[in-house]
Amino acid sequence: MPERMRSEAFTVQTLEGNKVRISDFVWKANCLGTGSLTCPVYAGVVNEMNRIGRGVS
């Protein structure tokens, strides 16, 4: 994999509360959205992002 496409190893929590490693998604299309619920812009779109995520997982 090209160096510019690599990321550090890390673990995230799914919407269901399960922990997954980013390495679980190697060679799969993925989109990682991050934000803070204290940010009014992010708070305004997080529900829609979660809805979309549920539709493709």
Taking the C-alpha atoms of residue 46 and residue 53, their distance in angstroms, rounded to an integer, is 10
Domain boundaries, the chain: 3-56
**How many residues are given for the chain?**
57
SS3 for the chain, per residue? Answer: CCHHHCCCCCEEECCCCCEEEHHHHCCCCCCCCCCCCCCHHHHHHHHHHHHHHHHHC
In whole angstroms, what is the distance from residue 48 CA to residue 35 CA? 13
Look up residue 35 and give its two tokens: 């934000």
pLDDT, tens only, 18-55: 998 888 877 777 777 778 888 898 888 888 888 887 77
Banded model confidence at residue 1, pLDDT cuts 50, 70, 90: low
pTM: 0.43
